[in-house]
Structure 1
């Protein structure tokens, strides 16, 4: 029960030929190959397109006002 014999592989190949047909197998293989090529091309383009200058983050951020500015409107809403 360990490995498959020649007859097992022959039966598997026969079933595949029956399901897909002999004419469709080259087309399926070609579609698979073109899909792999497009995937590799896309991966290569992603690694090639690194930004030359990373975006600069502004270090001088203004404070938002904290709790004092947010509590005033909430107090007005609760009092009505």
Structure 2
């Protein structure tokens, strides 16, 4: 009672074909196949042309060589 037999699937398939039509289903299938192929090609191209990441920029370190008590030492950081 709980399982779906082959007859149930055939009835569902018949209803889907009647609602959408064979031409519409064929177009949907070819569009889906083209999308999957494009995705695979994109993944293949992305893996081949991947460049190693650039090294991070060097950090500026503060040196405690100032003798004036009124001097404020700060680091300038760029916004990335």
TM-score, normalised to structure 2's length? Answer: 0.64
Written as runs of structure 1 = structure 2, the 5 A alignment for 1:38-57 is 38-51=38-51, 54-57=53-56
| Matched residue count | 65
TM-score, normalised by the number of residues in structure 1: 0.64
Using the TM superposition, give the Cα deviation of residue 12 of structure 1 relative to its aligned residue in structure 2, in angstroms: 0.5
| Runs of 5+ consecutive residues of structure 1 not aligned to the other structure | 67-80
In terms of fraction of residues, the more helix-rich structure is: 1
Q: Does 1:11 align with 2:20?
A: no
**Counterpart among 48, 53, 65 of residue 74 in structure 2:** 65
Q: Distance in 1 between matches of 2:19 and 2:47?
A: 40
Q: CA RMSD in A?
A: 2.2
Following TM superposition, the consecutive aligned residue runs of length 4 or more in structure 1 with deviations greater than 2 angstroms are 56-60
Unaligned 5+ runs, structure 2? 63-72, 76-80
Q: Distance in 2 between matches of 1:57 and 1:24?
A: 52
